[in-house]
Amino acid sequence: MAGPKHFLDIDRFEGDTLRDILDVGRSFKAGTPPDGEPQPLAGKALALIFEKPSTRTRVSFEVGIRQLGGDAVVLEPSSTQLGRGETVADTARVMSRYVDAIVIRTVKEAHLLELAEHATVPVINGLTDRTHPCQLMGDVMTFEEHLGAIAGRTIAWCGDGNNMASSWIQAAVRFGFELRLACPEPLSPPQDVLDWAAREGGRVLVTSDMAEALDGADCVVTDVWVSMQDDDKRPDRHNLLRSYQIDDAAMAMAKPEAIFMHCLPAHRGEEVAASVIDGPQSVVWDEAENRLHAQKGILLWCMK
Ligand code: CP
Ligand code: NVA
């Protein structure tokens, strides 16, 4: 018997499946749900486990499952037995008896994988220290709403080679776009993710030169300099990243019609200038909204 349909990472999917998921998300957004069924998950329950803070992921999944007819239970380890040492595996076995799918945001990817191994219901990656695939689904949807098909286009990532950078690399391969990452050398994306992209024939360039990444790009993306799991590491992060800020001069190196994306939360004056994130090329609020729509596609793929 086939196991549960987990949504763990972009690299585990065929491009066509990811496209189908986005199409479903788009039809909900357009008010024309697949098969004319606005609440296809009626009676289903979704658990959300947050080992780290969240605004967008939590609210968009909670509202999303309710709009699809289901219900949500949100758990923080400190208020559950996970916080007192119950294993992730046992938690997976128990939760599978109550709910129909589990979203988890973890401090360690190993927790996500352990949950997926022992759960008998679908597990969805709501961000780990390594990746953030749900965000990428919303990001691709947002790019295509503004600029058309993403295949063959050029995206420039500037800043930390973090979890978002890894998911962008995986998306570049699966959705067929060119990705140029400008990162300070010590904060380059993980080598195993880059090696995977190279093996898959992806067009992924890593450079420390902002101009090389930004030249003629269709879309400019950045993220915080200090991710949630990085608080106590590398005190030199700000110094390393200072010259990678997206300001007006950086945007001017991209195409005139280029859009600016950021998964949020943002730190104005650090990774992005206020004039850019609050300016006419920024699509960050659409991007945040599209988490809701793209994730409806993910929920349906996992749970129906
Ligand atoms: N972009 C994102 O995942 O935001 P949250 O941390 O608020 O969920
Ligand atoms: N890289 C950021 C993304 C937040 C949505 C972090 O992990 O904190």
Q: Are residues 145 and 246 in the same domain?
A: yes
Does the beta carbon of 223 lie inside 6 Å of ligand 2?
A: yes
Q: Are residues 142 and 279 in the same domain?
A: yes
The pLDDT value recorded for residue 2 is: 85
Residue 209: active-site member: no
Q: Tell whether 1 is covered by a domain.
A: no
**Domain boundaries, position 90:** 10-132+291-303
Q: Tell whether 270 is covered by a domain.
A: yes
Q: Single out the catalytic residue among 263, 281, 295, 302.
A: 263
Q: Tell whether 229 is covered by a domain.
A: yes
Q: 223 near 155, Cβ under 8 Å? A: no
Q: Are residues 168 and 277 in the same domain?
A: yes
Q: Are residues 90 and 148 in the same domain?
A: no
The pLDDT value recorded for residue 230 is: 87
Q: Are residues 235 and 94 in the same domain?
A: no
The pLDDT value recorded for residue 1 is: 59
Which stretches of the chain drop beneath a pLDDT of 70? 1, 232
Q: Are residues 189 and 120 in the same domain?
A: no
Q: Tell whether 107 is covered by a domain.
A: yes
Kind of pairing between the strands at 123-125 and 101-105: parallel
* pTM, 2 dp: 0.98
3-state helix, strand, coil in the chain (%, to 5): 50, 15, 35
Q: How does pLDDT run across 2-58, given as a tens digit for each residue?
A: 899 999 999 999 999 999 999 999 999 999 999 999 999 999 999 999 999 999 999
Ligand 1 centroid, distance to 60 Cα (angstroms): 9
Total domains in the fold of the chain: 2
Q: 162 near 225, Cβ under 8 Å? A: no
Q: Tell whether 5 is covered by a domain.
A: no
- Ligand 1 contacts (CB < 6 A) are 54-57, 127, 135, 263-264
The pLDDT value recorded for residue 77 is: 86
Q: How does pLDDT run across 174-184, given as a tens digit for each residue?
A: 999 999 999 99
Q: Tell whether 64 is covered by a domain.
A: yes
Ligand number with the minimum distance to the CA of 138: 1
Any idea what DSSP says for residue 78? G
Ligand 2 centroid, distance to 273 Cα (angstroms): 18
CATH number of the domain within which 88 lies: 3.40.50.1370
Q: Are residues 112 and 177 in the same domain?
A: no
Q: Are residues 272 and 180 in the same domain?
A: yes
